[in-house]
Structure 1
Amino acid sequence: MIRVGILSFSDGRERVHESLKEYIIACEERIKKSLEETKEVECFSASYIICNNELARTQPIELAAKNPDVVILNVPVFAFPNFSAIAVSLQHVPCLAIAPINGMLPGLGGLQAAVNMVRQVGLQCEKVWGNIEDAKTLTKVLSFIRAAHAAARLKGQVYGVFGGRSIGMGSGTISPDLWMKVFGVDTEHIDQLEIIRRAEIIEEEKVESAFNWLQKNMGSIVYDESKLTESTLKQQIRAYYATKAIINERKLNFVGVKCHYELSEYYFTQCLSAAFFNDPYDWDGPKDPIVYSCEADSDGALTMQIMKLISGKPVLFFDFRHYDGKDKVFTFCNCGAMATWYAAQSEDPLVNLSETTLCPVIPKYAGGGCHVRYIAKAGEMTFARLTRCLDQYKLTMFKGNFKSMPPKKLEETCEAWPHGFVEVGVDPDVLIDRYDNNHVHAIAGDYIEELRKFCEIKGIGCDIIGEGRK
């Protein structure tokens, strides 16, 4: 649940405030009711309407102590603007001011004056004019709230990176100081061989239980005589449990694992971990997805964590692989990190798994184990990626749709890997030119506005491909 604190503001003259307070409280209740009906948000208010300088200081402090993700300023009248400036200066989370439509009272003027003074002193505050019950207004508010939630929750999180740069990809490396400065995220470095060490001591009964669950519930498991055997699959299960133990022990919020080439070349790939960490379930039952980025792609992991916090959904990780001019689709695929949830997008794990196959690791990797293969279910998707030039971050994003394709289509690329076939509403050459990475990340639905607001809150660049603007 997103935690929303509400501060209400009034005229600084006691006589005038007394005549307005019932209306102000009614507007506050309207905000609470509309937001809580979405089932995404829980709201709480300060004890008093802010109608003097003292309350402008004490009420925001009281509200901040309740740890909100975002603060809404309810300004339905011409409240004294300095109250809002004082209140916002005491918050450490994003703020949004809102005023309802009512020509009988100067709420619009109060909104303009309040936010203008906040911005005049160098602080940030979003503003929305409209009745919260209206779908358009509620959508605007929710978009900001989701983005603010992601920005607020990201602060203080710890990212665990197992191993270093993978196969020479500098775009996935990390600057811990820059991450802390821009996003408030700390970084912990861990040797990926710790996964191998821990895997050797996982209890056998846990491994057997997970193995039997996979045997029973996967659409199919294509064993061969060398790469994918019962033994190598159990090794991948042990690696999953080992990684989970490290995450729990070190209290990590999201992770990236190098894999290539020490693990994929001499042991086994981490594809099983990459799929099921990003899923909202595993063989032990329902769970919160834990962002897991392949190839220790740290900026990719951070992108995925932002998208997860905004949407509450599993996030995909894959590569630009091919553009098919005949079918007019991009082929996005990667050896791992594609949550099985996207096979059918069902709340029933068994439905998703029935569309998923465990295939032997391709010969390119000398190690063993499985890839987790499926074709992503058709539907609207949002794609995004953080990139940087020196110390300047930019979030590039675009919309597209997964399209249904026959299994034979996999033979055109790498039939052992999970795939998403993507139709985009932009010239493919423009997308290839504007998009500055080989990796791409995605969530189901349209979250372009939330991601754009996140960029505004964090003060980073924003490039929305397909909308003709940067």
Structure 2
Amino acid sequence: MIRVGILSFSDGRERVHGSLKGYIEECADRIEKCLKDTKEVETFKALHIVCNNELARTQSIEVASKNPDVVILNVPVFAFPNFSAIAVSLQKVPCLAIAPVNGKMPGLGGLQAAVNMARQVGLRCEKVWGNIEDPKTITKVLSFLRAAHAATRLSGQIYGVFGGRSIGMGSGSVNPDIWMKVFGVDTEHIDQLEIIRRAENIQPEKVEHAFHWLQKNMGGIQYDKDKLTNESLKWQIRCYYATKEIIEDRKLNFVGVKCHYELSEYHVTQCLSASFFNDPYDWEGPKEPVVYSCEADSDGALTMQIMKLISNKPVLFFDFRHYDEKDKVFAFCNCGAMATWYSERSENALVNLKSTALCPIIPKYGGRGCHVRYIAKEGEMTFGRLTRCLDKYKFTMFRGNFKNMSIEKLDETCNVWPHGFVEVSVDSEVLIDRYENNHIHGVAGNYIDELKKFCEIKGIAYDIVE
């Protein structure tokens, strides 16, 4: 839930404030009701309407003490602008000023004056003019609240990176100092052997429960007596539990695991973990997705965590694999890190799993285990990625749609990997030119406005490819 504090502002003359108090309270109630009706937001209001300098200070401090993700400034009248500036100066979270449409009240002027004074002294404050009940207005407000929620919640989180740089991909390496400065995220380094050490000690009954659940519910398990056997699948289950233990013990919020090549070459691939950590369920029931990035792609993991915090949905990780000129689709695929939820987008895990198969890993990998194969169900998507040039980040983003394809289509790329076949509105060569990484990340729905607002809040450049 997005936690929102509401501060209301009035005229600084006691006599005038007395005549406005009822209307200001009514506007605050309207904001609170509409936000709660979305089921995405929990709200609380300051005890008093700000009508003098002292209340600007005390009420802002009171709201800040309740740890909001974002603060809304309710400015439905021409409140004294310095009150808003004082209040915003005491907040460490993003602020949004709102005024309703009412020609009988100078709310629009009050909104402009309040936000202008805050910005004049170097403070960030967004503004929306419109009736909160208007779909256009609530859409704007929610876009900002989701972005602010992501920016606030990201600060103070811990990223766990298992192993180092994978197969020479420097673009996935983490710079802990920059992450802490820009995003407020700390980095915990963990050796991949800790997964193997703990995997050996997982209770057999837990492994058997997960194994039989997969046997019963997957759309298919293509054992080959070599790469994918009962034993190798159980080892992947053990690795899942081991990684889960480490995340819980070290209080990690999101992770990246190297896998290539120590684990994929000499042990088992981590594809099962990459899928089910990113899913909203596993064999123990519903759960919160934990962002898990393949190949220790740290900027990929960070991108995914931002998308998750904005959308409250599972997020995908895959490669730019191919562009099919005939069908006009990109083939996005990767050996792991694709949540099975996207196979059918159902809230019923069993529906998704019936469209998903476990297949032997490709011969290129010397180890053993399964890939988690499916074709992503058709639907609207937002794609994007953080990239960095020296110490400057940029978020490249674009919209697309997954298209349904037959299983035979996988033979054109890799027929044991999960795929999304993506139709985009922009020319394929333009996208290839402007998108600056081999890895791509996506979330169901249209979240371009939220990602753009997130970048503005964090002072990051962005490029919307459209």
TM-score by length of 2: 1.00
Residue in structure 1 matched with residue 284 of structure 2 by the alignment: 284
Residue in structure 2 matched with residue 411 of structure 1 by the alignment: 411
Residue in structure 2 matched with residue 378 of structure 1 by the alignment: 378
1:217-256 matched pairs, under 5 angstroms: 217-256=217-256
In the alignment, the residues of structure 1 paired with residue 427 and residue 207 of structure 2 have an alpha-carbon distance, to the nearest angstrom, of: 48
State the AA in 1 paired with 2:457. I
Q: Does 1:395 align with 2:402?
A: no
Residue in structure 1 matched with residue 87 of structure 2 by the alignment: 87
Aligned residues: 466
Residue in structure 1 matched with residue 322 of structure 2 by the alignment: 322
State the AA in 1 paired with 2:418. P
How far does the alpha carbon of each residue in 1:55-93 deviate from its partner, in whole angstroms, 9 at most, with x for none?
000001000111100000000000000000000011110
Residue in structure 1 matched with residue 454 of structure 2 by the alignment: 454
Structure 2: give runs of 5+ residues left out of the alignment.
none
Q: Secondary structure at the match of 2:375?
A: coil
Q: Secondary structure at the match of 1:39?
A: coil
Q: Secondary structure at the match of 1:305?
A: helix
Structure 1 residue 330: Cα displacement: 0.1
Q: Secondary structure at the match of 1:5?
A: strand
Residue in structure 2 matched with residue 306 of structure 1 by the alignment: 306
Q: Does 1:196 align with 2:196?
A: yes
In the alignment, the residues of structure 2 paired with residue 395 and residue 14 of structure 1 have an alpha-carbon distance, to the nearest angstrom, of: 48
In the alignment, the residues of structure 2 paired with residue 286 and residue 398 of structure 1 have an alpha-carbon distance, to the nearest angstrom, of: 30
State the AA in 2 paired with 1:23. Y
Residue in structure 2 matched with residue 297 of structure 1 by the alignment: 297
In the alignment, the residues of structure 1 paired with residue 192 and residue 118 of structure 2 have an alpha-carbon distance, to the nearest angstrom, of: 47
Structure 1 residue 404: Cα displacement: 0.2
Structure 1 residue 144: Cα displacement: 0.1
In the alignment, the residues of structure 2 paired with residue 41 and residue 192 of structure 1 have an alpha-carbon distance, to the nearest angstrom, of: 38
How far does the alpha carbon of each residue in 1:182-228 deviate from its partner, in whole angstroms, 9 at most, with x for none?
00000000001100000000000000000000000000000001100
In the alignment, the residues of structure 2 paired with residue 215 and residue 35 of structure 1 have an alpha-carbon distance, to the nearest angstrom, of: 43
Q: Secondary structure at the match of 1:451?
A: helix
In the alignment, the residues of structure 1 paired with residue 87 and residue 158 of structure 2 have an alpha-carbon distance, to the nearest angstrom, of: 30
How far does the alpha carbon of each residue in 1:148-207 deviate from its partner, in whole angstroms, 9 at most, with x for none?
000000000000000000000000001101000000000000001100000000000000
In the alignment, the residues of structure 1 paired with residue 461 and residue 250 of structure 2 have an alpha-carbon distance, to the nearest angstrom, of: 32
Residue in structure 1 matched with residue 261 of structure 2 by the alignment: 261
State the AA in 2 paired with 1:357. A
In the alignment, the residues of structure 2 paired with residue 149 and residue 183 of structure 1 have an alpha-carbon distance, to the nearest angstrom, of: 13
Residue in structure 2 matched with residue 164 of structure 1 by the alignment: 164
Q: Does 1:343 align with 2:350?
A: no
In the alignment, the residues of structure 1 paired with residue 142 and residue 348 of structure 2 have an alpha-carbon distance, to the nearest angstrom, of: 27
In the alignment, the residues of structure 2 paired with residue 384 and residue 152 of structure 1 have an alpha-carbon distance, to the nearest angstrom, of: 20
How far does the alpha carbon of each residue in 1:421-467 deviate from its partner, in whole angstroms, 9 at most, with x for none?
0000000000000000000000000000000000000000010000x
State the AA in 1 paired with 2:43. C
Residue in structure 2 matched with residue 363 of structure 1 by the alignment: 363
In the alignment, the residues of structure 2 paired with residue 183 and residue 85 of structure 1 have an alpha-carbon distance, to the nearest angstrom, of: 25
In the alignment, the residues of structure 2 paired with residue 408 and residue 226 of structure 1 have an alpha-carbon distance, to the nearest angstrom, of: 24
Q: Does 1:100 align with 2:100?
A: yes
Structure 1 residue 303: Cα displacement: 0.2
Q: Secondary structure at the match of 1:22?
A: helix
Structure 1: give runs of 5+ residues left out of the alignment.
none
Q: Does 1:55 align with 2:31?
A: no
In the alignment, the residues of structure 2 paired with residue 42 and residue 228 of structure 1 have an alpha-carbon distance, to the nearest angstrom, of: 47
In the alignment, the residues of structure 2 paired with residue 446 and residue 164 of structure 1 have an alpha-carbon distance, to the nearest angstrom, of: 33
Structure 1 residue 102: Cα displacement: 0.5
In the alignment, the residues of structure 2 paired with residue 102 and residue 455 of structure 1 have an alpha-carbon distance, to the nearest angstrom, of: 32
Residue in structure 2 matched with residue 125 of structure 1 by the alignment: 125
How far does the alpha carbon of each residue in 1:251-306 deviate from its partner, in whole angstroms, 9 at most, with x for none?
00000000000000000100000000000000000000000000000000000000
In the alignment, the residues of structure 1 paired with residue 265 and residue 88 of structure 2 have an alpha-carbon distance, to the nearest angstrom, of: 53
Q: Secondary structure at the match of 1:86?
A: helix
In the alignment, the residues of structure 2 paired with residue 207 and residue 229 of structure 1 have an alpha-carbon distance, to the nearest angstrom, of: 14
Q: Secondary structure at the match of 2:166?
A: coil
In the alignment, the residues of structure 2 paired with residue 389 and residue 352 of structure 1 have an alpha-carbon distance, to the nearest angstrom, of: 39
Residue in structure 2 matched with residue 271 of structure 1 by the alignment: 271
Residue in structure 2 matched with residue 29 of structure 1 by the alignment: 29
How far does the alpha carbon of each residue in 1:121-155 deviate from its partner, in whole angstroms, 9 at most, with x for none?
10100000000000000000000000000000000
In the alignment, the residues of structure 1 paired with residue 427 and residue 239 of structure 2 have an alpha-carbon distance, to the nearest angstrom, of: 42
Q: Secondary structure at the match of 2:385?
A: strand
1:38-53 matched pairs, under 5 angstroms: 38-53=38-53
Q: Secondary structure at the match of 1:28?
A: helix
Q: Secondary structure at the match of 1:160?
A: strand
Structure 1 residue 18: Cα displacement: 0.3
State the AA in 1 paired with 2:253. N
